[in-house]
Amino acid sequence: MAMLEVKDLEVYYGMIQAIKGVSFHVDQGEVIALIGANGAGKTTILHTVTGLLSPKKGSVVFEGQEVTKIPAHKIVSLGMAHVPEGRRVFAELSVYENLKMGAYTRKDKSEIEENLQKIYERFPRLKERKNQMAGTLSGGEQQMLAMGRALMSQPKIILMDEPSMGLSPILVNEIFDIIQEVSKSGTTVLLVEQNAKKALSIADRAYVLETGRIALEGRAEDLLRDDSIKKAYLGE
């Protein structure tokens, strides 16, 4: 059974159909990439999966449970964490306070503390800046904070929306290394990313979205070699 199963999803904004019958699945332990041009519907799919948008048709099933009608904050307690596009850290709170917000669904104080130490090990820069206001961090550090905050809920699956957006190439590499580490430590990853080459280089499988539909799917390494993908998304 797939950990996450999306079936025949249709999502509208008013009269405009953004998602047109999309189906895909994510198995436990996989890194799955959703790639496609701007406006293809990648973010809309993530928002629907995490309960921020309601589909007109179709279903989202997480670990055998239909979550389409469950409110977003409850979905987090089921083990799904979302790192939104544009990072969305709480600018007026410190790094430490932001991380603690990520654990709001949990009650076990000593475990939360243990988790926090693990996050600091994985993101040493966050430890150095733990008392700094999140709004004063650089873009790359804010991205690390958004990822750290999501990991504080101890998710089974983490959904990342454009983690490399607006970052320098060095930081992009760093963020992707972290995504691979997160995956190796046992968290399943669903990645929405415009940097198709980077996404395909770390993913197991990928789905290519074009104007609200899945145009292609397959193993990431095969898609990296696919000529139509190279032309459309890899600038080759």
CB atoms within 10 A of CB 234: 16
pLDDT at residue 233, rounded to an integer: 76
Mean per-residue pLDDT pooled into runs of 10, the chain (236 residues): 94 93 96 90 93 94 93 89 85 93 82 90 93 92 92 93 90 92 94 92 95 93 87 72
Q: Quick one: pLDDT at residue 201? A: 93
So where are the chain's domains? Answer: 4-89+154-233
Q: Spell out the CATH class of 4-89+154-233.
A: alpha beta
| Residue 180: strand, helix, or coil | helix
Q: Collect all residues with Cβ–Cβ distance below 8 Å to 25 and sequence separation of at least 6.
A: 2, 4, 5, 6
9-30 in b/e form (b: 16+ CB < 10 A) is bbbbeeeeebbeebebbbeeeb
pTM assigned to the model: 0.91
pLDDT at 235: 67
pLDDT value at residue 160: 95
